[in-house]
Structures are given as structure tokens and as C-alpha cells.
Structure 1
Amino acid sequence: MFRSYTYWVFYLTLTFAAFTEVNAVEGECKKTLVVSVAQEWPPFSYLEDDEFKGLDIEIVELVLRNANYCWNYVYYPSSTRSLIELKKGNVDLIFAASYTSERADYAFYSEAYRFETMQLFGRIGQIAKSTLEAGSTIAVNRGSHYGNDFERYRQECEECIVDTNTASERFALVDRGRVDFAIEESIAGDYIIDKAGLTGSIVPTSVTINRSPVHFMLSKKQLTFLELDHLNQVIGNSHNEINSIVIKYHQRYGN
């Protein structure tokens, strides 16, 4: 049986703030991983009452417990910074990661553990066709990859893309008319609309930007092929438990 011992450390520098949670099990764990978390990405990863919670947090903790690994949580202000720290070897694991060949140069990718659907959200009454209209301004998460089609749109209209650090910031820009649309995972978008009282102003459009599997990204400087294989086996063996977590959040926040 697992027992958790938790200690909190908060520190602030000119470049980032971090919360670290140290988790241990009875006896010694095989390895302690530094896991980069998002502080404001509900319902996937968010800080509430000095504790990180959310769909992906539950999956990460399930998999790492089943793998007999301990973990430390660290928070950076953007996913771009998290990727830099993983490349340096200061972060061991980033969850909800989409595969790119560039990132695969410095990171292992685990087997996919769930799918995510990135949806276009806009103000009520705003027309969105089945494809993006040229010139539409779109708020996106800084450092995120939304598939090849969207990358072509970004290259064709760089000034149309507004990089942001949080989903709340993206939806606020849409609500104020500063941008036409925001890209957000479908469940997360529904969550924000509900919690922020935006039901009468922002809705998901019919445009799906991308639907893709997500993985754990693991630092090649800190983990081995054998450890990657071990985590992949645990992910496969935990399939039913992971699906139960995903279904729970779909029922709670999805349309």
C-alpha cells in the first residue's frame, strides 16, 4: 500500500515560480522524477488549496505510483520554459505532450495515454467555417504544437497568432474582442466557460484544430531506454484505470 508524505517548498526568482511536492512510498522508490506541471490549466492541471489537481495529475500519479516512482512537481510560467528545462535535464517528465520530430531529438516519448481534441472557441454569433478563415486572430498557448495544418496557417499569417501563457488569458482576450478565437482542449474550454460565467458570450465552434494522442515526454539526459520501456508497460497495464479517469472528467465537464 502506498503512503504519501508531502512537503511544500515555494520560491520565486526573476524568471519563474515553482511549487515542489515530494511524494514517497513505503520503502524506497526506484527513482524520483521532476515533473513539470501547469498551475492554471483546469481541469487537467491546476493548483487548488496548495495541491495540484486535475485529469492529467491523476493519471501521472497513477502511472508513477504503479511504476514505483516518486515525483517532485515544479511549475514554470510557460510550456516553452518547461521544454527548455527538460532539454537541459532539469525536468524529467512533461505530460500531455504532442509528438514532434524536433522534440524527439532531446526527449523520449512514452506510449500515448489519452487523446486530446483542440477546438476553436469564439464569441456567440461569430461564424466559423469548417476551415480557418484567412486573417482570423487566434490566441494560442505559448510553445504548443497544434498539428501541421495549423502550423501552415501560423507561417502564412504570423501576426494573426497571439501567444499566451494560460487558458484564462486566452478566453479573456476573446471575451473582450481582442482576438477572434482561442484554441483550447474541448473539455478545458467547456470548464472555463462554466467556471468563468462565459456561457452567454463564448461557445465552441464547429472547427476542430487537431485531435491527437498525447504522451509523457521524458528527458534523455535523465532516463534510459529501460526506464522508458518500464513506464510504457505500466501505461499499458493501467489502461482501464486511465480510461476511468478520462470518462469521469468527460462526464463532469464535457458537452
Structure 2
Amino acid sequence: MKYLLSGLVLISMQAYAACPSPLRMAYNNDWLPYVQLVDDIVTGTDIELIRTLAVQLGSSLQLIKMSEQRALQQLQQGELDLIFAASYTEERAAYAYFSLPYRQENITAVLNEDLLTQQPELTSKADFYQLAAKQWSGAVNTAGYYGEDFEQFKQNKGKSRLFHVAEEFRRLQMVAQGRAQFSIVDHKVALFHIHQHKELSSLRVLPFLLHQSSIHLMLSKKTISQSCVQQFDLLLKKRLRRPTASEQ
């Protein structure tokens, strides 16, 4: 029995050792509630989740500040180990593993209330992209993935109408100040900022979604083994099975 237990412990240690330490992950700006920067301290719901997973895997999390576009390049080259809050695409899957989803993302657009009330015909995603292509400019993180409809818009009719602004709060400010007519946003993040900042009180989110997707961790195929990905998935599966407070 002693040898059996020792063997099980050894197997468990080998499984966790499959993940490198530290795990290098990129971040860039405030993205509340998922990422929060206070001086040199980085927290937020996504960050704390991944910190916890890293510790449970016998590793640690090393955060490296860089732009989203550069982070994707660094992950592909093996200079980063993982990226959080990632949507699955076939292009990304060529160089990265995707974990099980750990939350859902709801993408919509934010406009000034006055502009929204002037557009009673704006009732669907198709209506939005038609108006955006003809009349509006948008402040958007163009490195983000907001669904195939946005990708087509970005590469064609919207190409000359989009300003790349990485930080979500700055994008919302531009819309509130009339420097852009819309911004593509995470629904939860937009509502958080609108409720927190009086200067954004004129902003409204669309009454429909532009895109909805599962959110994953992206793990570099150059530095992360499939065994490590499996360990991440096991831990995420356990967390997803936990009942919420309302279910208890």
C-alpha cells in the first residue's frame, strides 16, 4: 500500500510538473471587472482566477504588460505561455491550445442616447452594421475578435471608419464626447463603467447583442504540453461544477 500511495503521489507530481513555472501571461489595460490596475498591482476577476489555477498547478503567474496584438505574436513565437479572455478562431488554433471555456462574453455597441433615439429602425445586428458603414465612426480595439460580422466589416466597409483604441474606458469617453459615434464593447464592462462614471451617463448599450462567444485561455503550443492543458481543463471543470450562491 505504501508503494502504491508513493506511486500515485509521483504520478500526481509529474502531471502538475507538466506546466512550466512561472506561467508568463500578458495584460495591458484596466478592463473592469476582469482586470484592474492599481499602481503596480494587477487584480480583477480573470486575473485572480488564473492566479489560483497557476498555484493549484504548482506554478506561479508572471504578468507582462504588452499590447494585445503583440501578445498574440509573442504567444505564437513561444515568448508567452498563455493569454486570457480569448475567443476561439481557426487561425489562432494553429499555434495555440484552447482551454475549456470559463465564462461567456456578450458583445454589443455603445452609443449616445440622443443618437440612439434618432434611429428607431436600429433593431438588429444587420441594421447596426449598415448604419455604421454609411454614417458612423467607431472607437474599437481592432485587435479584438467580435465575431465574423465585425471581421468582415473591419476589413471592408468599416476599414476607414474605425479608430484603434486599446483601453475600453477611453473608447467610451470618445463616444460620450462625440469624437466617435459608437464603440464595440463587452456588455458587462460597458455597464460597469457607465454606472461608475458620471461623464458616461449619456451612453446607452444596444438592446441586442452583436456577438456572443465562449471565453477561453489560449496556451502556446511551443511552451505548453497537452498534459498541462488537460490539467487546466480539470481544474476549470471542477470550478464550473460548483453551485452558485443562488443554487445552494
Name the TM-score, length of structure 1 as normaliser: 0.78
State the partner residue of 2:139: 139
Give the distance between the partners of 2:53 and 2:115, measured in 1 at CA: 41
State the partner residue of 1:165: 166
1:108-123 matches, within 5 Å, as 108-123=97-112
Give the distance between the partners of 2:201 and 2:190, measured in 1 at CA: 14
State the partner residue of 2:220: 219
* Structure with greater helix share of residues: 2
Contact 2:78 2:220 in 1 (8 A): yes
Contact 1:38 1:46 in 2 (8 A): no
State the partner residue of 1:63: 53
Q: Kindly indicate whether residue 189 of structure 2 is the aligned counterpart of residue 184 of structure 1.
A: no
The two structures, once aligned, show a CA RMSD in angstroms of 2.0
Secondary structure at 2:139 match in 1? strand
Structure 1 moving runs of 4+ over 6 Å: none
Q: Kindly indicate whether residue 79 of structure 2 is the aligned counterpart of residue 90 of structure 1.
A: yes
Q: Kindly indicate whether residue 68 of structure 2 is the aligned counterpart of residue 79 of structure 1.
A: yes
Offset at 1:66? Answer: 2.6
Could you tell me which amino acid in structure 1 is paired with residue 142 of structure 2? Answer: R
Name the TM-score, length of structure 2 as normaliser: 0.80
Contact 1:80 1:142 in 2 (8 A): no
Give the distance between the partners of 1:66 and 1:210, measured in 2 at CA: 33
Give the distance between the partners of 1:53 and 1:155, measured in 2 at CA: 34
Offset at 1:199? Answer: 4.7
Larger radius of gyration: 2
Give the distance between the partners of 1:198 and 1:213, measured in 2 at CA: 31
Contact 1:120 1:206 in 2 (8 A): no
Offset at 1:125? Answer: 1.9
Give the distance between the partners of 1:144 and 1:55, measured in 2 at CA: 19
Contact 1:39 1:52 in 2 (8 A): no
Q: Kindly indicate whether residue 46 of structure 2 is the aligned counterpart of residue 53 of structure 1.
A: no
Could you tell me which amino acid in structure 2 is paired with residue 112 of structure 1? Answer: P
Q: Number of paired residues?
A: 216
* Structure with greater strand share of residues: 1
Offset at 1:49? Answer: 4.1
Give the distance between the partners of 2:36 and 2:68, measured in 1 at CA: 14
Task: State, as a whole percentage, how many aligned pairs show the same letter.
Answer: 27
Give the distance between the partners of 2:216 and 2:201, measured in 1 at CA: 34
Offset at 1:69? Answer: 2.2
State the partner residue of 1:23: none
Give the distance between the partners of 1:244 and 1:222, measured in 2 at CA: 34
Instruction: Using CA pairs under 8 Å that are at least 6 residues apart, name the structure with larger relative contact order, 1 or 2.
Output: 2
Could you tell me which amino acid in structure 2 is paired with residue 45 of structure 1? Answer: V
Contact 1:124 1:200 in 2 (8 A): no
Could you tell me which amino acid in structure 1 is paired with residue 141 of structure 2? Answer: N
Structure 2: gaps (5+ residues): 1-15
Contact 2:173 2:200 in 1 (8 A): no
Give the distance between the partners of 2:205 and 2:229, measured in 1 at CA: 37
Offset at 1:146? Answer: 0.7
| CA deviation map 1:30-78 (0-9, x unaligned) | 33200112332121112114311112112212322232321111111x2
Structure 1: gaps (5+ residues): 1-28, 248-255
